[in-house]
């Protein structure tokens, strides 16, 4: 609530042309924006470039912000920018199902998790990388819906609005995306935590 109030004050100043106020908003939301972009793009470089473009675009469009969640408004711009980039570039396979990764891509930085052993941290990162690869293997439409739903926690209605799709289409894409990721993860079941039926059924 406090954050929302502060956002409102900063937005009001940013609308009056105060770039410092807008940059305060950038600092506040840049991790969320980058996370979304990375989940959608699957590539840290592209994600960073897209997020930078999105923040510039948001600055130029800030007069169109009409209240509500600034984060949701901002993530919508990020999503649209990612959509544009994904559609603009030639589809290229970003996933090799053998679990390999592009060593040129730097490891995305995570927020620190204190008390975790190095081995556990390494295993967790490997699982996360596998999940990301499975997500990146999805088609663009399914990927966007899956990330907005299961990563960002948006409702069906919000996803339909952001992706300009029908509600039924969103439900269909989401169910198929989950099933596809599930099937994809069968290939890395050794990484799955114990107790997962997903592992047992494999």
Partner 1 sequence: MNERDLELLSAYLDNTLTAEARSAVDARLLTDAPLRRELDTLRETKLLISGLPQLKAPRDFTLTAAMVGGRARTLPVILSPWVSALSAAAAVIMTVLGVITLNVRPSALTSVASAPTGTMTLQPQIAAPGAMATESFEVFTPTLAVQGTLDLPFAGDAPPVTFTPSPDPAAAMIFGAAETTVSVPASETQAVGGAGAAAPVAPMATMGMATAVMESAPAASAEDASVAMMPPPTLTEDAARAGSAMDALEASTPMPAMTTQAEAMQIAAPTMTVAAAADVLATATALPTQPPTATSTNAANEDGIDAMNGVGTSVPEQSAIASSTPSPASSTESLPNEGFGGATLFLLAGILFGFALLTTLLRGRR
Enumerate binding residues for partner 1 (CB under 8 A).
Answer: 15-17, 19, 22-23, 26-27, 30-35, 38-39, 44, 48, 51-52, 55-56, 59-61, 63-64, 106, 108-111, 113, 127-128, 131-132, 135, 146, 149-151, 153, 156, 171-172, 174-176, 178-179, 181-182, 185, 192, 196-198, 201
Using CA of residue 36, residue 40, residue 43, residue 48, what is the dihedral sign? negative
Cβ-based nearer residue to partner 1, 59 or 165: 59
Spatial distance between the Cα atoms of 101 and 115, rounded to a whole number of angstroms: 27
Cβ-based nearer residue to partner 1, 90 or 130: 130
Cβ-based nearer residue to partner 1, 90 or 106: 106
Spatial distance between the Cα atoms of 174 and 172, rounded to a whole number of angstroms: 5
- Quote the least distance from Cβ 103 to partner 1, whole Å: 17
- Quote the least distance from Cβ 89 to partner 1, whole Å: 20
Which one-letter DSSP state was computed for residue 152? S
- Quote the least distance from Cβ 51 to partner 1, whole Å: 6
- Quote the least distance from Cβ 85 to partner 1, whole Å: 16
Cβ-based nearer residue to partner 1, 47 or 86: 47
Cβ-based nearer residue to partner 1, 34 or 83: 34
The answer to whether 37 touches 44, Cβ cutoff 8 Å, is no
* Residue 83 in tokens: 């959509």
How many CB atoms are closer than 10 A to CB 35?
A: 20
- Quote the least distance from Cβ 98 to partner 1, whole Å: 20
Cβ-based nearer residue to partner 1, 74 or 86: 74
- Quote the least distance from Cβ 25 to partner 1, whole Å: 10
> What's the first-to-final CA gap in the chain, in angstroms?
44
Torsion of Cα atoms, 44 then 46 then 52 then 54, to 10°? -120
How many CB atoms are closer than 10 A to CB 46?
A: 18
């Amino acid at each position: 609530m406090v954050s929302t109030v502060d956002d409102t004050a900063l937005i009001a100043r940013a609308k009056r042309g105060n770039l410092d106020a807008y940059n305060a908003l950038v600092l506040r939301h840049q991790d969320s924006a980058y996370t979304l972009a990375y989940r959608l793009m699957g590539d840290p470089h592209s994600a960073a470039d897209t997020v930078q473009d999105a923040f510039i675009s948001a600055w130029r469009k800030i007069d169109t912000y009409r209240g509500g969640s600034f984060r949701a408004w901002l993530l919508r711009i990020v999503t649209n920018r990612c959509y544009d980039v994904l559609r603009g570039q030639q589809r290229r396979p970003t996933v090799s199902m053998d679990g390999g990764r592009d060593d040129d891509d730097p490891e995305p930085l995570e927020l620190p998790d204190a008390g975790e052993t190095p081995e556990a941290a390494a295993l967790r990162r490997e699982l996360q990388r596998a999940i990301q690869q499975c997500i990146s293997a999805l088609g663009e439409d399914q990927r966007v819906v899956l990330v907005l739903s299961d990563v960002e926690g948006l409702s069906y209605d919000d996803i339909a609005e952001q992706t300009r799709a029908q509600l039924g289409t969103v439900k269909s894409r989401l169910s198929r995306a989950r099933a596809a990721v599930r099937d994809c993860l069968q290939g890395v079941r050794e990484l799955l935590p114990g107790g997962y039926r997903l592992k047992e059924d494999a």
